[in-house]
Amino acid sequence: MQASGLIAEIQQLKTQKNALILAHSYQRPEIQDVADFVGDSLALARRAQQAQCDVIVFCGVHFMAETACILNPTRTVLLPDLDASCSLESSCPADELSAFLQENRQKNYYVIAYINCSIQVKALADVIVTSGNAQQIVQAAPADRPILFVPDENLGAWVAEKTGRRMTLWHGACHVHRLFTRDQIMQAKQQFPDAEVVCHPECREVVRLLADHICSTEKMIDYCRQSLAKRFIIVTENGILHRLRKLVPEKDFIPLRTGSCGCAECEFMKLNTLEKLRNCLRDMRPVISLPEDLRLRALAPLQRMLDLSC
């Protein structure tokens, strides 16, 4: 079926089912365009918590839909493709974290978990962060307890540097962001000497060192809009380019090429398609369902994050 036919069906089903479509900025352009709201992990979590509709269709990866369900359990939360996982989430299995905490219980770690983790890991954490609020949340951590930051060692190292808080870092990383290299950025800078480098904090330190600005996907939009520069080298997943070009049309955005597809793409994010979105609204599945005791344990650190971040 043509995209226009699918879009018309999605709009019709959305009204029929009283659904809200949320999409992350790494989603395919056509999904971003059909969504009611597009944002980063923090904005999406907030929007999901406030949702009054019967159904939330989450176009993103599994931990994001799970977070929506933790925060707003009386809505039906759908994820178009249940296989949309995340390499950061996989890099921190809950049983390994639990064993580590058990072995080191005398340290009494304050556990800070990046939102890119499973509900079981969230349930073991004291507080959650996103790339949009990590500095603020880490700054507010109790001064008399050692911090364990999971699962992203790159985001953790960046926040430690920004806040001056020492942290033990779990050795996890995003398979998309770890592929960016110093050489690629140097080459792009040579080709476009007037361009500023804007980079996601999931990138490695050698890459972050070359950035003019480091921030979450949402803050990239504000930064590029406000900066005096006219051209930007964007060091993150390529889905954000659609939003940047749409919201800041007067400026020029240069992607970096990595990975087997040569286009810095998160294959998990791209699993969602218009067809799967239509199917999930039509069939009302796959549904995210969570055991209530686990949901409540994961809700506490998530709510702490939302209360602490402005």
**Interface residue list for ligand SF4 (CB under 6 A):** 61, 86-88, 116, 174-176, 202, 237, 266, 268-269
> Pairing mode, if any, of strands 55-59 and 76-78?
parallel
**Which one of residues 27, 32, 41, 118 is an interface residue with ligand 13P (CB under 6 A)?**
41
The CA-CA-CA angle for residues 3, 87, 164, to 5°, reads 120
One symbol per residue from 148 to 187: x for binding ligand 13P (CB under 6 A), - otherwise; what is it?
Answer: --------------------------x-------------
**Which one of residues 130, 133, 184, 238 is an interface residue with ligand 13P (CB under 6 A)?**
130
Q: Which does 282 bind (CB under 5 to 8 A by kind): ligand SF4, ligand 13P, none?
A: none
Which residue bears the tokens 């969570």? Answer: 290
Specify the stretch interacting with ligand 13P by CB under 6 A; choose among 126-134, 187-195, 223-231, 302-310.
126-134
SS3 110: strand
Alpha carbon distance 177, 13 (integer Å): 36
Q: Which is nearer to ligand 13P, 37 or 192 (CB)?
A: 37
Alpha carbon distance 198, 220 (integer Å): 7
For the segment 223-262, give every residue that binds ligand 13P (CB under 6 A): 237
Residue 39 DSSP code:
E
Pick from 230, 177, 254: nearest CA to 208: 177
Residue 288 DSSP code:
P
Residue 156 neighbours by CB distance under 10 Å: 26
Q: Which is nearer to ligand SF4, 216 or 279 (CB)?
A: 216
Q: Which does 297 bind (CB under 5 to 8 A by kind): ligand SF4, ligand 13P, none?
A: none
Pick from 208, 116, 112, 125: nearest CA to 161: 208
Q: Is 27 in the site for ligand 13P (CB under 6 A)?
A: no
Q: Which is nearer to ligand SF4, 196 or 237 (CB)?
A: 237
Residues near ligand 13P, by CB under 6 A: 25, 40-41, 116, 130-132, 174, 202, 216-217, 237
